[in-house]
Amino acid sequence: MTEKITKALSRLNKILPLKENQENSSLQLKKLHQHILRSFVEKGRILNKTEISAFIDDFNLADGSNLADDYDAVFYAGGHGPLWDLAEDNNSIALIEKMYTSGKPVAAVCHAPAVLRHTKAPDGSYLIKGKSITGFSNSEEDAVQLSEIVPFLLENELKEKGANYSKGEDWHPYEVTDGNLITGQNPASSEPVAKVVLAQLNP
């Protein structure tokens, strides 16, 4: 069964009507893969081209908030990448705003709290204003010698947006929860953040 699924997914690029350079087409593709695998389990066969096309037509990625109803929580992993892409991505911003205002857990670890920098509350203020939060610290950025490379220092950015930023010892687990907003300082903080998310999903 696994081999059949693998072969089927490898043929997707030949039949998917994805537009070239479509924004976030990779996210669309991942969601399609999930749909195909689910259908394979339920129907015992791979979806045909017509069924795939119909699914894509129904999946509107123009507004990230459309995805919020499909998930119970969102967890942004770390790495420096979010400083350049997800921090500026309108789909991601819309997704976070909808998830947060719906009371669903919104979690981010290490550099990933950068995705919160442009998010807004319903009243137009920054979503993280007055919120207790953490993220990769200036001292940790200095330690990896990338303070002059990154587009902005996360600790400074979070403070400038009005967040109540705090941090623990460099490279040690440090997690901060403020309602359904959960953040972790560094890679070592991934586990405690994940545990809080699970606890909120299973009270």
Q: Judge whether 169 counts as a catalytic residue.
A: no
SS3 14: helix
The CA-atom distances, in angstroms, between 188 and each of 42, 53, 82, 175 are 38, 42, 18, 10
* Residue tagged active-site, from 33, 35, 97, 110: 110
Of 164, 71, 169, the residue nearest 113 (C-alpha): 164
Round to whole Å and give the CA distance between 56 and 19.
Answer: 11
User: How many angstroms separate the CA atoms of 195 and 101, rounded?
Assistant: 21
3-state secondary structure 45-67: CCCCHHHHHHHHHHCCCCCHHHH
Catalytic residue among 140, 141, 157, 175: 141
Please give the distance of CA 96 from its chain centroid, rounded to a whole number. 8
Active-site option among 111, 140, 155, 175: 111
* CB contact at 8 A, 57 and 19: no
Has 111 been annotated as catalytic? yes
Catalytic residues: 110-111, 141
